[in-house]
Amino acid sequence: MDVEGQRPFGRAPQAWKGALLAAAFLLAGCAQQTPVAIAGAQVEAAAKDAPTPTLGLEGEGSQPSATPAPTLPQVGRQYETSRPAVVWGTRLSRLPTTRKVVALTFDAGANADGVPSILRTLQATGTPATFFLTGKWVQTYPQLALEIGHGYQVGNHTYDHPYLPQLPDAAVRKEIVAAGTMIASATGHDPRPLFRFPYGDGDARTIAIANQLGYSCIQWTVDTKGWRGISGGQTVDSVVSRVMANLEPGEIVLMHVGSAGDHSTLDADALPRSIAALKAQGYSFTTLTS
């Protein structure tokens, strides 16, 4: 469960950063995407003693082949028809491109207070985005999940947002598989290959499990901290300022759809200004797999 305003979404410890050769991510089927040629990736390695990771393309054999991922319901318009290869052993913290593009991402695991405003803004501005949903969230808000699935890319954020490194292997798999099935059923989209760790907290073991289930692990370039709310010292200005202060080609922005403990929805409120400010700097928007 996302806990905006209750428990911080701190950035996971960064043991080291390494270079990763990555293959081109194929167009995932979103209606309004800006294609990005993926040539290399800025990624976070999971542990100090982990070997320098490489991208295991299907058929290459440079990494162990993934165990078969569970069969998910075939409902609605599916992304898996053009699913990119899994990025092995790392968490991507930005899209590897020199083009002036930004990927807006929204985590959904607590409430849905900001969703109507966020969807209105995205639709009005023609901006693509990716939503990382928990299984419990789509169970609680099935109509909103369906609406998100109709127009936007979705990713897996586990079933109920636990700290995965604290769980045994079987429980980690259960969290990811259960969420994937629920998200596919609720949105009409298989969330693979997009997975985001709750709290950004993953290690070599849990990254490997996610990879084996068909997922690449997506971190972020900047956390807006909007989830902290006004009572946590944040404002619309601070959200926009963080987005712009970390601006670079391929920036991945982390926002949240829910309100903070004080019921403020700063990420939703700041979204129109953030989009306008990014456009003013000559940036356009993309999804994570385009």
Q: For 119-176, how does the pLDDT look when each residue is reduced to its tens digit (9 = 90+)?
A: 999 999 999 999 999 999 999 999 999 999 999 999 999 999 999 999 999 999 999 9
- pLDDT at residue 84, rounded to an integer: 73
- pLDDT at residue 83, rounded to an integer: 64
To 10 degrees, the CA torsion angle through 91, 244, 249, 147? 70
* Residue 15 in this model has a pLDDT that exceeds 60: no
- pLDDT at residue 22, rounded to an integer: 40
Active site residues: 107, 256
pLDDT digits (tens, 9 = 90+) for 190-207: 999 999 999 999 999 999
- pLDDT at residue 113, rounded to an integer: 97
CA 271 vs CA 30, 91, 137: distances in Å: 20, 25, 22
Contacts of 105 (CB under 8 A, 6+ apart): 129, 130, 131, 132, 155, 196, 218, 220, 252, 253, 254, 255, 288
Cα 78 to Cα 189: distance, rounded to the nearest angstrom: 5
The token pair at 50 is 């982990």
Which class would CATH give 16-286?
Answer: alpha beta
H or E stretch including 195?
strand 194-195
The token pair at 188 is 């009409």
pLDDT digits (tens, 9 = 90+) for 258-287: 999 899 999 999 999 999 999 999 999 999
pLDDT digits (tens, 9 = 90+) for 220-247: 999 999 999 999 999 999 999 999 999 9
Which tops the pLDDT comparison, 65 or 283?
Answer: 283
* Residue 75 in this model has a pLDDT that exceeds 70: no
41: which strand partners?
Answer: 20
- pLDDT at residue 68, rounded to an integer: 44
- pLDDT at residue 85, rounded to an integer: 80
Mean pLDDT for all residues in the chain: 80
Cβ atoms of residues 194 and 130 within 8 Å? yes
